[in-house]
């Protein structure tokens, strides 16, 4: 399509909004874009429809079909309302929970959604103010609701907002509900949206849910005596301007910790995230102010949650007294090691316990589970899949915990999404337990590697933009399937897993077996004889193909940690060269 044709289509689409049942503020913004000499903003706003995908909506805020605004949010809510009414005909009063984060317009979108749900006869429990995403998941279960939504764009830049939909188990929707809701939303026109709410069906919630959630989190404690002996542990915590400020310091105090050190500038709730370039705890810069505070106060640990408080980033001191960031795989390792160790020491392992990780998360977690007789499930990236495993095992097996390499962990099943509130309290407990045993968190991490072997993980994204880029990414995946690598960095490939065909191949014997997964996914994995694992998948939301590399090494003492890390880094680079990335 040439530029003139695209512009004509965009102008025609924008005109339908000017002629349609949209408010004057929206129409004024559209006229401004249409009258501008540079039509880039208009094209970006209307060249496509913002899709309600399996994870909901996420996009830049503004007027237009490709933007987050009250009409795209309204269509999503009306479509979800229609689906809930069709799915729960025998429920006397269908109900939903609505939560939101600190982002600009999040409260507006939450209130618009509350009005639409109530206009459709659905009872709404609307949080009085911003709250962590996991608390909203908890509230859906606690209040016995059929669904719920969260207005958040997680750790995206400030221009973005998003809309996540949950089912009655408090988890994000999977098949068939996700695709069925998408179908409903796609059929909604602006005149179908019932914007006039029924106030009698909207109930404001807050403190009573906060209290119930924190009381549930307190039941997770496995080492209360260690907490008592180390109650003055110096914990620096930052919410990075987000929802964690509402609950995490309080949860830590009620857990028994008395020395919570704030970063005042980042306690300021703001959708503009004024002190950071990106409010993402994966980014080192996002923790700079907290680390500075830790240096000033000689703290024991730094913890940061992202804007909707579902992911946790931490920093710890190494053996040289330097503050270092702990990556998502290492964080998951600390959680799993501690949980299984303490469950075992407390006599709680009865043979029916299990943990969950995503397929791109470190395999050391499986080694820990296997050695201790705990079952481990692999699932696709995203906590909706971890929640699906919990749902399948409900009443049959006992969930210990689950996590992913992208800084998310869930140590409980009364919530069904990754949870930085419980993760912060548990990580503080792990720090206290380690200290009680004469160790720092850094030494505890080293000891895990000593027992299970050293591991190093690296994620690499190769960006290929536009139509040609998409074709190149598709060809890369096709080439890997038709001509898979025989060896990687000098080590023979022994197993290939293809989640698009759900087949696993033993390369030496040629034998194939089925992968037990609930759906297909365009992901390839290669496992080599020396313990290397490479996962390859196109991004579902960005023009890039992602490579996840994990290599293994040896450590015989803590003193060998730096050498093991250097050897692993060299191995990662050799794997990159071998894979051509």
Active site residues: 154
410 near 403, Cβ under 8 Å?
Answer: yes
Q: What is the spatial distance between Cα 319 and Cα 442, in angstroms, rounded to a whole number?
A: 7
78, with CB counted inside 10 A (0-12, 13-18, 19+), is buried
DSSP-assigned letters across all residues of 479-495: HHHHS--SEETTEEEEE
With CA atoms as reference, report the closest residue to 421 among 69, 99, 18.
99
- Tokens matching residue 359: 């397929």
Which residues does residue 238 pair with via DSSP β-bridges, in sequence order?
304
For residue 64, what are its two tokens? 């237009």
Radius of gyration for the chain, computed over Cα atoms and rounded to the nearest angstrom: 24
Strand order in the sheet with 353-358: 375-379, 353-358, 398-404, 408-410
* Phi-psi sector, 528: left (phi>0), alpha (psi -120 to 50), beta: beta
The pair of structure tokens assigned to 521 is 């996914």
Handedness of CA 512, 517, 520, 526 (dihedral sign): negative
Work out the angle at residue 262's Cα, subtended by the Cα atoms of residues 258 and 265, and round it to the nearest 5 degrees.
165
For residues 521 and 536, the answer to whether their CB atoms sit within 8 Å is: no
| Token representation of residue 478 | 């096709």
**In angstroms, rounded to a whole number, what is the distance separating the alpha carbons of residues 576 and 581?**
5
Tokens found for residue 337: 């090691």
Task: Please state, in angstroms and rounded to a whole number, the distance separating the CA atoms of residues 148 and 228.
Answer: 37
Q: At what angle do helices 441-452 and 561-579 cross, to 10 degrees?
A: 60
**C-beta separation of 165 from 149 below 8 A:** yes
Question: Considering Cα of 111, then 244, then 287, then 315, what sign does the dihedral take?
Answer: negative
Three state DSSP letters for 210-235: HHHHHHHHHCCCCCHHHHHHCCCCCE
> φ and ψ at 529, to 5 degrees?
-65, -25
Torsion of CA 187, 137, 519, 80, to 10 degrees: -10
Which position has the token pair 């000593």? 450
Quick check: helix, strand or coil at residue 56?
A: strand
* Distance (Å, whole) CA 317 – CA 448: 17
Q: Please tell me the distance from the alpha carbon of residue 56 to that of residue 193, in angstroms, as a whole number.
A: 18
* Among candidate residues 576, 365, 374, 381, the one with its CA nearest the CA of residue 459: 576
C-alpha torsion sign, points 395, 362, 292, 160: negative
């Amino acid at each position: 399509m040439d530029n003139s044709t695209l512009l004509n289509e965009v102008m025609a689409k924008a005109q339908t909004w000017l002629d349609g049942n949209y408010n004057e503020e929206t129409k004024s913004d559209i006229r401004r874009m249409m009258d501008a000499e540079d039509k880039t903003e208009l094209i970006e706003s209307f060249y496509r429809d913002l899709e309600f995908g399996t994870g909901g909506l996420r996009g830049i805020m503004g007027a237009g079909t490709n933007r987050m605004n009250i009409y795209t949010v309204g269509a999503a809510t009306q479509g979800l309302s229609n689906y809930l009414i069709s799915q729960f005909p025998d429920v006397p009063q269908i109900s939903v929970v609505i939560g939101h984060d600190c982002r600009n317009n999040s409260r507006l979108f939450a209130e618009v959604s509350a009005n639409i749900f109530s206009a459709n006869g659905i009872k709404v429990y609307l949080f009085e103010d911003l709250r962590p995403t996991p608390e909203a998941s908890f509230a859906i279960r606690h209040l016995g609701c059929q669904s719920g939504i969260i207005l958040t764009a997680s750790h995206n830049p400030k221009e973005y907002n998003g809309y996540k939909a949950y089912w009655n188990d408090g988890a994000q929707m999977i098949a068939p509900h996700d695709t069925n809701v998408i179908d409903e939303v796609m059929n909604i026109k602006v005149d179908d949206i019932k914007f006039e709410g029924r106030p009698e069906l909207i109930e404001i919630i807050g403190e009573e849910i906060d209290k119930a959630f924190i009381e549930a989190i307190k039941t997770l404690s496995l080492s209360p005596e260690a907490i008592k002996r180390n109650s003055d542990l110096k914990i620096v915590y930052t919410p990075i301007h987000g929802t964690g400020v509402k609950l995490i310091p309080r949860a830590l105090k009620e857990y028994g910790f008395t020395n919570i050190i704030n970063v005042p500038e980042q306690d300021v709730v703001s959708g503009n995230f004024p002190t950071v370039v990106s409010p993402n705890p994966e980014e080192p810069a996002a923790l700079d102010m907290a680390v500075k505070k830790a240096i000033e106060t000689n703290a024991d640990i730094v913890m940061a949650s992202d804007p909707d408080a579902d992911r946790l980033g931490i920093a710890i001191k190494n053996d040289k007294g330097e503050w270092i960031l702990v990556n998502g795989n290492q964080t998951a390792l600390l959680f799993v090691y501690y949980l299984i160790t303490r469950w075992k020491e407390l006599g709680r392992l009865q043979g029916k316990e299990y943990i969950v990780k995503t397929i791109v998360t470190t395999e050391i977690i499986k080694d820990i589970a296997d050695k201790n007789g705990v079952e481990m499930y692999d699932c696709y990236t995203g906590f909706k899949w971890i929640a699906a495993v919990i749902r399948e095992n409900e009443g049959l097996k006992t969930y210990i915990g689950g996590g992913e390499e992208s800084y998310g962990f869930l140590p409980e099943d009364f919530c069904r999404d990754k949870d930085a509130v419980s993760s912060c309290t548990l990580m503080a407990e792990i720090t206290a337990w380690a200290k009680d045993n004469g160790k720092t968190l850094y030494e505890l991490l080293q000891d895990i590697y000593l027992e299970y072997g050293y591991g190093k993980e690296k994620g690499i994204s190769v960006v290929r933009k536009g139509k040609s880029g998409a074709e190149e990414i598709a060809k890369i995946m096709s080439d890997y399937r038709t001509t898979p690598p025989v060896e990687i960095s000098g080590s023979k490939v022994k197993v290939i897993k293809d989640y698009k065909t759900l087949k696993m191949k033993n390369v030496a014997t040629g034998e194939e077996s089925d992968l037990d997964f609930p759906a297909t996914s365009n992901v390839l994995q290669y496992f080599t004889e020396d313990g290397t694992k490479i996962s390859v998948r196109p991004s579902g939301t960005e023009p890039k193909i992602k490579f996840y590399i994990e290599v293994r090494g040896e450590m015989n003492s803590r003193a060998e940690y730096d050498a093991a890390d250097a050897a692993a880094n060299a191995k990662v680079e050799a794997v990159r060269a071998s894979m051509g990335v």
